[in-house]
Amino acid sequence: MLAVFKPHNAVITGIGELKPSMDAGDKTSLDLLGEAAALALLDAGLHKTDIDGLLVTPPSEDSYFLWPSQVAEYLQFSPVFMNMVELGGASAAATIARAALLVETGICRHCLCLSGGIWDKHVFNTLEGKMAVMSQAEIDYDLPYGPMGFNSGYALIARRHMHEYGTTPEQLAKIVVDQRSNALANPDALFRKPITVADVLSSPLIVDPLHLLEIVRPCSGAAAVIVSRLPAYAGTNHDPVYVRGFGEAYTHNSIAYAPSLTTSPIKLASRRALQMAGIEVKDIDFVALYDCYTITVLISLEDIGFCAKGEGGRFVENTDLTYAGSLPCNTHGGQLSCGQPSFAGGMSHVTEAARQLRGEAGARQVRKNRRALVNGNGGVMSTQCCLILGRE
């Protein structure tokens, strides 16, 4: 067996995130990325010329041919290494894992991870928009039956989980209710109206059993994270946040061909991340879990091991998931409250974990903030990247 790689020198030194918006005005995706990068550089106390690594995720609807090159030209970066990471919603977390590798090996000193873009509803809600996110197999053998983007895939998972384990709509609703409580303490959240379980269940059924309030809202925005090599962060402004471990796992692209609907590759990805960090689930103080839908969070909690498989419904029912609770989850409100600015939705879990670990989360600061587990999820529980971030 190969020795487990253990990162020691990879630290998050800068974060920058734009307030998610439903209308970005005249700005382009590249403009948003530039604004987020500037915020991260300011946060880190670094200059643009310090950046020698550039990892980007795809934009929402722009052509992303040679995207790293487009970004580097528009913002005038000249990195020694750059790449685009396309793992759907897991892309943002995966840029952090790859940046950690780049700085650990000494190839880069300061690697900028950039994610986000403009959301265009005129593209999103068309047949072309739907086909743009489908594989050829999905177009040939799935599209003729009217799958509703990712909605129907996650609905199939929720229905199967209900069948196998008796999970209830009320239990799923509790997840977004707790996250909304968190959003009330986040001035940057897109949705800040308090909601109850009854509100969730009385919102329109979109894809039975999932209701409108259980489904993420696409929007525009961007986020940037700088991963640096110790001790190169000398000029930076904050205590470093250590990248202690990462783990990834892949079993399928389309949910129709997944080995299971109720157990996801997060199970393997989280084991690998915890093993790299040399810790166990009980050592995690809080989590930032990709939440495109309520069911995504429930499956994640089970697969990571916070409760047994099938116990997720009862677990979320009996656990306070708010920033004041016993297992704080998505303390910024999650994407379900903040919106999903393209692939930057996944980065919002990284930036929030970093804020909490630094002790800079303000009104929503968690009490125990030594270690966090962040998950990025792409497709329909398809691509998974777990990160272990720590204060030390």
Partner 1 sequence: MADDRQTYWQYISTGKLGLQFCPACQKHIFYPRGLCPHCLQSGLEWKEATGRGVLYSYTIVHVSALPDFSSETPYIYVLVDLDEGVRIPSNLIDCHLDDLKVGMPVKLDFIERQGKDLPVFKPAI
Which residues of the chain form contacts with partner 1 (CB under 8 A)? 125-127, 130, 137, 140-149, 151-152, 155-157, 159-160, 163, 204-210, 254-257, 261
Q: Which is nearer to partner 1, 95 or 340 (CB)?
A: 340
CA distance 101 to 384: 17
Reference 222, options 95, 73, 119, 81; nearest CA is: 119
Kindly state the smallest distance separating residue 127's Cβ from partner 1, in Å: 6
CA distance 266 to 248: 8
Q: What is the DSSP string of 24-66?
A: -TT--HHHHHHHHHHHHHHHHT--GGG--EEEE---SSS--TT
Q: Which is nearer to partner 1, 139 or 281 (CB)?
A: 139
Cβ pair 292, 207 in contact under 8 A? no
Q: Which is nearer to partner 1, 153 or 240 (CB)?
A: 153
Kindly state the smallest distance separating residue 136's Cβ from partner 1, in Å: 9
Q: Which is nearer to partner 1, 6 or 121 (CB)?
A: 121
Kindly state the smallest distance separating residue 156's Cβ from partner 1, in Å: 4
Kindly state the smallest distance separating residue 133's Cβ from partner 1, in Å: 13
Q: Which is nearer to partner 1, 17 or 214 (CB)?
A: 214
CA distance 85 to 104: 18
Kindly state the smallest distance separating residue 58's Cβ from partner 1, in Å: 21
* CA dist list (Å): 350 to 101, 218, 229, 252, 296: 17, 18, 18, 24, 17
Q: Which is nearer to partner 1, 22 or 363 (CB)?
A: 22
CA distance 44 to 32: 19
* HEC readout, 105-150: CCCCCEEEEEEEECCCHHHHCCHHHHHCCCCHHHHHHCHHHCCCHH
Tokens of 142: 């799935």
CA distance 106 to 283: 29
CA distance 231 to 145: 55
Q: Which is nearer to partner 1, 150 or 315 (CB)?
A: 150
- How open is the CA angle 62-352-233, to the nearest 5 degrees? 90
Kindly state the smallest distance separating residue 135's Cβ from partner 1, in Å: 10
Kindly state the smallest distance separating residue 143's Cβ from partner 1, in Å: 8
Cβ pair 243, 277 in contact under 8 A? no
Q: Which is nearer to partner 1, 232 or 256 (CB)?
A: 256
Kindly state the smallest distance separating residue 259's Cβ from partner 1, in Å: 10
